[in-house]
Chains A and B, each alone.
Chain A
Amino acid sequence: MSSTHAKLDHAHHFNSADHEFAAGKIGMWLFLVTEIMLFSGLFVGYGIFHYIYPEMFREAHHELNKVLGSINTIVLLSSSLTMALAINAIQRDKPELAKKMLAFTFLCACTFLCIKFFEYSHKFHEGLLPGKFYSNTELKAPNAALFFSFYFVMTGIHGIHVLIGMACIAWIYIRVNRGDFDSHHYNAVEFVGLYWHIVDLVWIFLFPLLYLVV
């Protein structure tokens, strides 16, 4: 039997495990609202300056690799599937399958960050850096550094969120391995899942804005 039977079914201030789960979920959704607001500040800032300097944004964004950006999009979308499948596996009391799905999600996240590492390296090499560190001589627009300020801050903060997600996924993997969860007690898995989907969601918007300027 899973070790959850040795633990309390739910914290004492909740009526039931289901109650605890539902309450935790509300809390998680409230946190995700703050994540949306965090990124929205960056998106609105981006929108304002893209509107003011459309030519510069168009020219500068060609320095980004659309293929790598598309691959990263596919990688993150797939990782959302495997994250959902991990929770599905726990819901059906299949911890071994859950571990496989969590591992695959983790690997997708690694792949995403590796690709970003290559992208960032290339930009460092070309002097396509934010603000005062900008040293590229190829781009014509004099204020192209502004685009790269947005690029690095937006993908950077997103990247930090990916890293945090990886840490959470690794922690959940360890806990699944320990037998901490079953089909009625998997709150942490669910909430980490929700967090991971938001990370994917932010990228869904970042990708066309940064990589696919018409």
Chain B
Amino acid sequence: MELKASMAGSVWKINVAQGDSVNEGEDVIILESMKMEIPIPAEKTGTLQKLNVAEGDFVNEGDVLAVIE
């Protein structure tokens, strides 16, 4: 499952490392956009296979931030 950015912003915090398990609803990444924090939660429980971004990166709406399997 791909974890996508819900809006343009920058990556404020990454709460999970590659290989970690994540639970459904857990905030994997927190974006910052227009002075607001936008949490990006996991849609289902799994393992974080791939992380495409680092803290401080700019992302556009729809960008794949991470892959959870």
Same complex for A and B? Answer no
Residues of A whose CB lies within 8 Å of any CB of B are none
